[in-house]
Amino acid sequence: MPQGLILVPIQCDDNMYSEDSVFGAIAELEGAVSDRKLQPFGLRTSKLFKEDIRSRSVTVAGNATQASSTATTHENVLEWVKQDKRRMLHVVYRVGDMDRTIKFYTECLGMKLLRKRDIPEERYTNAFLGYGPEDSHFVIELTYNYGVDKYDIGSGFGHFGIAVEDVSKTVDLIKAKGGKVSREPGPVKGGNTVIAFIEDPDGYKFELLERGPTPEPLCQVMLRVGDLDRAIEFYEKAYGMELLRKKDNPEYKYTIAMLGYGPEDKNAVMELTYNYGVTEYDKGNAYAQIAIGTDDVYKTAEAVKLCGGKVTREPGPLPGINTKITACLDPDGWKTVFVDNIDFLKELE
Ligand SMILES: C[C@@H](O)C(=O)SC[C@H](NC(=O)CC[C@H](N)C(=O)O)C(=O)NCC(=O)O
Ligand SMILES: [Zn+2]
């Protein structure tokens, strides 16, 4: 074999193609030939052959580049999610008697009625209640559908959490007003926090948690999930939430994860509960969704899809009011609506 001859095996089988090996081979061939060190081994490296190799390598490279640029785009979107300005805005659920619920929430739970809107053409009324203005607090959005006085809460919805400075005093007030107490004040089983459970007129459970002063008394939405690690990964990657705490309770056969956009004692959080061995729940027709603010509903929807979530309402403006939203489901089928931050504030004006 003549000195300086380099045999460069080029596999042309698509399965064997790798960008490096083909480019490497072409470069060696071209380099060696141009340096006149290499007389192609008995074969002229025909222009056609090189073109074929190059075009295929360009195709491979093209596909590889496309794949890598797509991967980069996906990575960029998921990185963007972490930087997006997000906040839990409100939780939406249906009630059978709007005035009855407003009376209970204001007189027994100390909430303020923030606003009401009646949509007669759609035959429903909304009322927003909470512990502070909507531009800085997580609030409740009640929906009353004309003529519907009862809903099925199902087994998947858990509770709303309200932080109070004195659980027993709050419970006594609720009792005096005729409210239902389903769990008397005392330390949580397996823990120390003093809690109690009460039910509102529709049967929604509220956990009262004894805490010091907090900017966000409406502090939890508890939903049950069938696979906690799957849910945590989705809420972190698709929703950009932080896993604030995870607590396993083997004695009571459940695990909870707290996820949100800031510390648990100062922000509303999602409390996801996994009961050992329970993978499916009945979602009923009472609880609707949470709403989260975002700077870009389009990128948000893309991130949800990338993480395997289902976008049930493509991103874009709502007819008439032009607020940009997108709606999606998490792996357990719980709904979240993302609302454009600027449009949301305009709605409040
Ligand atoms: C952390 C605090 O906000 C809680 O909500 S923990 C309260 C605790 N939760 C559970 O037991 C969850 C599992 C249960 N099987 C379910 O699906 O709800 C609770 O409710 N404790 C009851 C008590 O009396 O302490
Ligand atoms: Zn809770």
Residue 129 shares a structural domain with residue 77: no
Residue 181 shares a structural domain with residue 236: yes
Residue 74 shares a structural domain with residue 126: no
Which residue type is seen at 120? P
Model confidence pTM above 0.90: no
Query: For the chain, what is the domain count?
Result: 2
pLDDT, position 62 = 65
With cut-offs at 50, 70 and 90, classify the pLDDT of residue 12. Answer: very low
**Cβ proximity of 207 and 222 under 8 Å:** yes
What CATH number corresponds to the domain at position 105? 3.10.180.10
Residue in 192, 273, 278, 280 to alter for ligand 1 test, most ligand atoms within 8 A of Cβ = 273
* 21 has pLDDT over 50: no
Query: What's the rounded mean pLDDT across residues 52-80?
Result: 67
189 lines ligand 1 (CB under 6 A): yes
State how far the alpha carbon of 147 is from the alpha carbons of 24, 98, 126, 154, 212, in Å. Answer: 74, 11, 14, 21, 41
CA 164–ligand 2 middle distance (angstroms): 13
Assembly ipTM: 0.98
Tell me whether residue 14 is in a domain: no
How does pLDDT run across 288-338, given as a tens digit for each residue?
999 999 999 999 999 999 999 999 999 999 987 789 999 999 999 999 999
Residue 142 shares a structural domain with residue 232: yes
How does pLDDT run across 249-274, given as a tens digit for each residue?
999 999 999 999 999 999 999 999 99
Q: What mean pLDDT is reported for the chain?
A: 86
Residue 58 shares a structural domain with residue 152: no
Task: Output the six-digit token pair for 265.
Answer: 């004692």
Which residue type is seen at 323? T
Burial of 178 (0-12, 13-18, 19+ CB in 10 A): exposed
DSSP category for residue 3: T
**Cβ proximity of 295 and 84 under 8 Å:** yes
224 lines ligand 1 (CB under 6 A): yes
What span, in angstroms and rounded, lies between the C-alpha atoms of 54 and 47?
A: 10
Residue 92 shares a structural domain with residue 71: no
280 is catalytic: no
- The answer to the question of whether 141 is labelled as a binding residue is yes
Residue 67 shares a structural domain with residue 98: no
Domain boundary among 83, 100, 118: 83
Residue 225 shares a structural domain with residue 323: yes
**Residue-range definition of the domain harbouring residue 43:** 19-83
State how far the alpha carbon of 215 is from the alpha carbons of 83, 138, 243, in Å. Answer: 23, 10, 20
Residue 98 shares a structural domain with residue 25: no
Placement of tokens 């454009």 in the chain: 340
How does pLDDT run across 121-180, given as a tens digit for each residue?
999 999 999 999 999 999 999 999 999 999 999 999 999 999 999 999 999 999 999 999
Residue in 181, 192, 195 to alter for ligand 1 test, most ligand atoms within 8 A of Cβ = 195
* 114 has pLDDT over 70: yes
State how far the alpha carbon of 124 is from the alpha carbons of 97, 134, 229, 266, 291, in Å. Answer: 12, 21, 37, 33, 19
Task: Output the six-digit token pair for 51.
Answer: 């073109």
